[in-house]
Amino acid sequence: MHLENWMYWGGGFILLMLVIMMYNSLIGRKNMVENMYGAVDALLKKRVDMIPNLIASVKEYMKHERDLLTKITELRTQILQTTDENQKIELESRLSGYLKNLMVNVENYPQLRASENFIQLQNAIKDVEDQISAARRAYNQAVTDYNNAIEMFPTNLMALMMGWQRKKVFEIPEDERKNINVSDYFKE
């Protein structure tokens, strides 16, 4: 075979390898976004599952907070029933707010603050909150990577052919960016 033919074959092979690498890189990024969304979702579910225990351990002491506890319980039921992703995120965000209120109000119940059971639960919730925050950051980074890949040359050409579009990042509330710590609410 002539040198010219070898060059054509070699060039074609390199091009093919590049296309395969680009395709795999895009698929990797897309899958990572889905994985990270799944991780956030699983952790949010874990937090929702902790609510019955939380309510059970505080309702004895926090009789004056019945309204708040009822709202939390109702919100939990709604989260479990909804299938719409956007609505779920909105409900989760509301739940976070109510939980924060509940933790602030615990200040008024010294007996509850001394309860071993509650302290354990408080630590568990703090841990899940930290994990949710980490998962959201991971999701946002995965989305940023994905968005960069579908907008940067040459992967944008392939993304255009596959009809892929930009994804939205989670909007992390300002107070969460400061790495909110549940135990802060219990400081003297």
Partner 1 sequence: MQEINQLRKVALFKVILAVILVCGVAYLTLKFSKLWWHYAIGGVVALLIIGMAISAVEYYKSQFIERILKPLLKSNDLYFFPEEGFSEDVALSSNLFDFEYDDYDSHSLVVGRDFRLAYVEFTKEEEEEDSKGNSYTTTVTKFAGFLIVLKHKRMVKNYVIIRPSSFHLSDILPVTYDKTRIKMDNPEFEKIFDVYSKDQVEARYLLDHSYMELLIQLYNKADIKYLSFIKDLVFTKIEYDDFTQNMPLLTPVNDKIIQKILFPVEYALFLKESLNGGFNER
Tell me: does residue 185 bind partner 1 (CB under 8 A). Answer: no
Judged by CB under 8 A, which of 18, 104, 160, 162 binds partner 1?
A: 18
Task: Match 């059970």 to its residue by tokens.
Answer: 56
Please state, in angstroms and rounded to a whole number, the distance separating the CA atoms of residues 103 and 109.
Answer: 10
Q: Is the CB of 115 or the CB of 133 nearer to partner 1?
A: 133
Judged by CB under 8 A, which of 28, 52, 97, 110 binds partner 1?
A: 28
Query: Least distance to partner 1 from the beta carbon of 91, Å?
Result: 22
| Three-class secondary structure assignment of 13-81 | HHHHHHHHHHHHHHHHHHHHHHHHHHHHHHHHHHHHHHHHHHHHHHCCCCHHHHHHHHHHHHHHHHHHH
Half-sphere exposure of 163 (CA within 13 A, CB side): 0
Site for partner 1, residues 121 to 150, rule: CB under 8 A? 130-131, 133-135, 137-138, 140-142, 144-145, 148-149
Q: Which residues bind partner 1 (CB under 8 A)?
A: 18, 21-22, 24-26, 28-29, 32, 35-36, 39, 43, 130-131, 133-135, 137-138, 140-142, 144-145, 148-149, 152, 154-155, 177-179, 181
